[in-house]
């Protein structure tokens, strides 16, 4: 199962190719926040840790709006803090505030990518295509490691692009 940081990093690489088009906060937040549901059920000692939020019905409707409102608020009310955080971690953004449509589309992409990766690696996702079916017909069983390797490879690509972006943004002073 891809861990939440892998989910966030696996969707981040488009940001480094198009900083004006992709909102990194929306991508990472939407790709990781869906696992707050799993954390809740694990803490509550429930046997099933992937429920309604791990399904396309909510990932296509309510989820991107809720996460989008969070991201929109962060970018509007804490713009300086968000910019400082981006600079500290080496993103060096051209901007911090994105349009509501960009935020929504990035949240939609992040949430969908999370569900897409999880549907192959988690047997216990009964709502993945609910109300069309109850259960997870996409679970790959022992072959789910292929998806985990692919997600990890995308995360490594994002880290490579991130480090490359930080180097370009911070050229070392050359002394003669």
| Other beta carbons less than 10 A from residue 48's beta carbon | 12
Taking alpha carbons only, the member of 23, 34, 28, 36 closest to residue 11 is: 28
Q: Per residue in 121-152, pLDDT tens? A: 998 898 999 989 898 999 998 899 999 999 99
- pTM for this predicted structure: 0.89
Question: For the chain, how many structural domains are there in total?
Answer: 1
Q: Per residue in 41-78, pLDDT tens? A: 888 888 767 888 999 999 999 999 999 999 999 999 99
Q: Per residue in 10-49, pLDDT tens? A: 999 999 999 999 999 999 999 999 999 888 888 888 876 7
Residue 102 located in a structural domain? yes
Count of alpha carbons within 13 Å of 45, Cβ hemisphere only?
0
Task: Answer yes or no: are the C-beta atoms of 27 and 11 closer than 8 Å.
Answer: yes
Residue 176 located in a structural domain? no
Task: Answer yes or no: are the C-beta atoms of 22 and 106 closer than 8 Å.
Answer: yes
Taking alpha carbons only, the member of 98, 96, 89, 97 closest to residue 169 is: 89
Domain span at 76: 4-169
């Amino acid at each position: 199962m891809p861990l939440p940081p892998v989910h966030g990093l696996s969707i981040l690489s488009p940001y480094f190719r198009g900083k004006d088009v992709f909102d990194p906060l929306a991508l990472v937040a939407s790709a990781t926040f869906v696992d707050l549901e799993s954390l809740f059920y694990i803490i509550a000692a429930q046997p099933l840790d992937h429920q309604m939020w791990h399904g396309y019905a909510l990932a296509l409707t309510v989820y991107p709006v809720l996460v989008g409102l969070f991201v929109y608020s962060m970018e509007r009310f804490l713009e300086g803090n968000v910019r400082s955080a981006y600079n500290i971690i080496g993103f060096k953004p051209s901007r911090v505030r994105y349009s509501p449509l960009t935020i929504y589309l990035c949240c939609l992409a992040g949430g969908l990518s999370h569900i897409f990766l999880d549907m192959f690696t988690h047997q216990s996702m009964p709502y993945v295509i609910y109300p069309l079916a109850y259960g997870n017909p996409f679970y790959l069983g022992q072959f789910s490691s292929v998806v985990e390797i692919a997600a990890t490879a995308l995360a490594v690509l994002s880290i490579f692009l991130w480090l490359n972006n930080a180097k370009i943004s911070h050229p070392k002073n050359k002394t003669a």
